[in-house]
Each structure stands twice: as structure tokens, then as C-alpha cells.
Amino acid sequence: MKKSISIIVPVYNAEKTLKRCLDSLIKQTYKNLEIVCVDDCSVDNSFEILNEYASKDSRVKVFKNDVNKGVGYTRQKGLDVSTSEYIMWCDSDDWYELDMCKKMINAMLKYDVDMVECSYRYVDVGECNERFLREKLVPLLYSNSKRDIDLSIYNSQVKMLWNKIFKRSIIDEWNLKIPSIGLFEDIVFCFLYLMKSKNIYFLDKKLYNYVRHPKSTVTCEVNSHSFLLFKEFMVFKLVFDFVKENGWNDKLYICNELYFSYLKQICSNCYSFVSNVEYNITNSISRVLSQNSKYFPMKMNIFFATDNNYVEQLYVAIRSILTNAYLEDMFNFYILDGGISRKNKKLLSKLQSEKANIEYLKVDNSLFESFPENIDYITKATYFRFLIPQLKPSLKKCLYLDCDIVVNGSLRELYNIDLEDNYIVAVQDGSNISYNYGKEAFGVDAYFNAGVLLINNEKWVKDDAMGQLINNVSKLQNKLLYNDQDVLNYTFKGKVKFIDWKFNMQTCFFTEMVKPYKISIEDISNAKKNPLIVHYSNSDKPWKTWCSNSYWYLYYSFLKITPFRKNAKKYLKNISKKL
């Protein structure tokens, strides 16, 4: 049996155009249709015309709102009462070409896509402008990437309901609704639908006729360019709130990009606003921004320490940061350089851009010649972080990261944490060995892992933290097991702010029953579901052996978009031999 299609027609005072619209629908060459018409309390003869057509064709179903509700509510009511597997919309002053439904459903089934969009005609008084879409199939979801929707695709004509066919299964599964906001409600619906679609198909057939009136939203002089931009900006705020409230965490990145593409356009026009309406818009934007300060442009200062041995891991770590960054995130990457070759620096330079600057800070290895090395997979380069306040004394705060990490989201949340009067912000070490060891050796109830440190550089400089750390290396030399991590825990005891495990998800969380200090097992479980930073903290690194960290695959997903991508096969081959 042929698939059924519901065509939803919102109607309000459309007696002059309604018959043309309904004739184009009932005469479709594709017959398995349900034509759902919802009258929004018209004061002309629209409701009578609807009933006339319903008496002649059982596929026409007529409903009426109790009071005038607007087009958003009316469209949603039509969706609620419709029953078909596929959904289309038609405005009451527009009309379909007679083979529109047939061509749309055929493309939907032939290409196995979640949405089809066709070309259309703008019909103005005395003229007809045709809008073309280049025919193509577009995948929307890419594995291991948060760039789910190409902005150029979304910002074309994907915003309107009336030249598309949708799957009811997607609408119902994700409880998608058309909001009653009076303007651009179709943008919200289309955008949310796209975020849950695998692919779409652009059909280069002019199948829809859209009538533009001199007083319509599109052409009305009252709606200036800046006003329309602001309205769309507020729509995206609604979308963003919906995404957050419904836990669509994997969609936040693309939502943020679209949100700010409009914000930038609005702000660029702020000084040209002249009318009182636009002045009020500017104030509204300011209020929205003040309530969402985390979306202001932000520059983060991030330190890594390495020699030539960990350049690949450094590249992967920075690549993961940049891939997951918000649109407005910017970075200064400071590399504490223990002997990186010119060749490797040339490779790393490929990561530089307007948003990401890389600066090498040469470290004299002889300064650490006598410092102990007690763990075979930890080099003396980890001591380099002691030098940060001396090398960059002007920084108020900075983030230090080990190279054996990958980042799984924007670092903005971590970087914005209030340091208060602490030397560092850190995450407890997950190893039970270090838990007992830290208590016995250094008297610390909560022993932190030093792979991820938000540093109060201003306080380090003021209190000569570098001098304290270096002096304590000598003082504790015979006690040290975890090298600089032990020294940091001893030196900053009582002046550490502990944060959620998701900011440093260590491998031991997947191999031990962790006994954390003042943090529940449930907290660890929640953090493991969506870590911001994955830390390959044990000796079983994913590039060496089979890694017990459940997020080992993330390393390979970022490795494949680096100049070291060929190493992946070699690593996996060596690992398979050892298994």
C-alpha cells in the first residue's frame, strides 16, 4: 500500500485564495492523502469554503480553533490531529503543483532520507521569481564530530515548512513542536528536526508556489533588517534552551554556531539603529548577553609541557581542543619546550589560526637534571610546569594540561571556574594507591591528579610558588613516587579547589573501585557518561597497548585528522599482536 501523507493547511481570512489552494491539493496525482485544514476563527467565508470541500472529498478534514491563536498554534493543532506517516504543509494563499506530493514522497523513499526539500516560485504581483536548489543528497550526521549541520545548508532555505516533507516518526520520537511565537516559528521546528535527521535531499523541481503580499512579513518596511535579525536571534535562543533542557548535549556545538552567527550580524549593526523599536532591541540584546556571559568572546591561556617524544600526543590534544571549541573561543597555546625539533614545530604550526596562537617557551633541561624520575611513562618534562609563573608572570590564570589527554567539549566551562584564593583547581586522583599514599606520605585527605590544573598564576607569582616547589623537590626527594604531582600536592595542601570528575576522567576510573574523598560513586558514574577531558593516565596508553580507558577510541578519532594519521594502523597492528 502507498505511504500516506498528511498536508496541514492553517487558514485565516483566506476566502480569496483558499479554493485555488484546496483544488491544487485534492487534484494531486498522488492520491493517498489526508488534507487537514485548521481555521483560526476567520471572519470571512473561509470556514464555509472548507466545509464545502470536506462534503465533496472525504480526505479533507476540517477543524476550528475556539479563539484566534495565530499560525504557530494552528499549525501545531493540525499536526496533532493528523494521522499519516509523512507530513507536509501548505499555506492557504499558496498552491502545490499537481505532482508535488508524488515527486516528494518518491524522492523520500528512493534516497532513504529524513527530509526532502524542493525548489519553489515566489509569486509577486505582476511577476514570478523562481528559487532553485541544486539537486543533491546531504548527510547531516558525521561520526566523532559535533559539526552536525553545515551552516551554509541551514542558512539557505531550510527554514520554511511549506516546501518540505517530514517523517512523523522523527517528530514523535523527539516530541518536536511548533511554538506559538508569532514569527519564524517554522525556523525553530525545522532546525530541531534537522538536528535529529541523518540526511536530507534537495530536489531541483519547482513544486511550490509561494505568494508574497506587499504587507507580508517578508516585505513589510516596519520589519527592518536589524529587527528581523534580532527576531531570528531570539528564535535561536529558544532553540538553544530547548536543546539544553532536553539533554541534546551532542547538539550544543552546532546550536551555538548558529546562535552566534546571528548575534554577530546584529551587533555589527548596533550603531546604525535609529528608531525607538531598534533602540529597544539593542537593550534587549544587552540583557540577553548579560545573562549568558559565557558566550562572550574568550581567550584562554593553555600550557603544555613536552619534548620530542610526545609531539604526536600534543598535536592530538590541541586538535581535540580546537575541534570542540565554541565559535567565540580563542587560545594562546604555550608549549614548555624540552627540545622539540624544527620539523615537528613545522607540523604543529598547521594548528595556528586567528583563533589559536602557539608560542614555544624554551626550557633549560639542565635545571631538572637532578630531579627524580620514578615512573617510566612520566618524563622530566612534567616538572616544567613549575616555571610557568617565571615565564609568564603577567597572566592572572592559565590552564595546564598533560599531553596524554583528549578534550570532548569546549574548555570554557573549566576555564571559567572561580579560583577564589586557591593556588589551583584540580580533580582528585582516582587511583586507590595514590589515595592511601597521599594520606600517609603527605597528610592530604584528597590527593589531586596533576594532569589537568587550572592555575592561579597571580597567586603563584605573589607567593613565589615556583621557589616553594623547587625547594620541596629537594626536601621530599626520598619520598617521591609520582614525581612533580607529589610535590604539587604537598606544597598546595589546603589551598586546592576540587571539581567534578568529568574535568579529568582518568583511566583508573575504568579499572578500579575508586574510594574518593567526599565524592560518591554516583558522581563518578555520571561523570563517566560525558567527560569533558579524557586522561590516559595509566601506563596502558592507546598508542602503546590495549587501553582500559573506555574512551580510548577518541584518541584515534582525532589522530586521523592530524599529520600523524598513518601511525594509527601501525599502533593497532602492534596492539593486536600483543593481545
How high is the pLDDT of residue 115?
93
Contact yes or no for 19/92 (Cβ under 8 A): no
What is the tens place of the pLDDT at every residue in 534-559? 999 888 889 988 888 889 889 998 99
* 139 alpha-carbon distance from chain centroid: 17
Average pLDDT of the chain is 81
Query: Which ranges of 200-354 does DSSP label H, i.e. alpha helix?
Result: 225-245, 252-268, 276-291, 311-324, 342-348
SS3 label, residue 421:
coil
What is the tens place of the pLDDT at every residue in 109-158? 999 999 999 988 888 755 555 555 566 677 665 433 444 445 555 555 56
What is the tens place of the pLDDT at every residue in 373-412? 666 656 677 788 899 999 999 999 999 999 999 999 889 8
Q: What pairs with residue 266 in β-bridges?
A: none
The position carrying cell 484546496 is: 22
568 vs 404, more confident: 404
568 vs 140, more confident: 568
What is the tens place of the pLDDT at every residue in 207-260? 999 887 654 444 433 344 545 555 556 666 677 677 767 777 666 656 656 655
Residue 561 has pLDDT above 60, yes or no: yes
Residue type, 286: S
CA distance 409 to 81: 40
Res. 369 pLDDT band, cuts 50 70 90: confident
* Residue 444 CB partners (closer than 8 Å, separation 6+): 438, 489, 490, 493
How high is the pLDDT of residue 131?
56
How high is the pLDDT of residue 133?
58
Contact yes or no for 413/398 (Cβ under 8 A): no
How high is the pLDDT of residue 24?
97
Residue type, 91: D
Please name which of 195, 333, 313 lies closest in space to residue 253, comparing C-alpha atoms.
195
CA distance 382 to 184: 53
Please name which of 401, 397, 396, 405 lies closest in space to residue 384, comparing C-alpha atoms.
401
Contact yes or no for 401/451 (Cβ under 8 A): yes
SS3 label, residue 310:
helix
CA distance 310 to 379: 10
What the block records as the C-alpha cell of 131 is: 528559487
Query: Which ranges of 61-207 does DSSP label H, i.e. alpha helix?
Result: 71-81, 100-110, 151-154, 168-173, 185-195
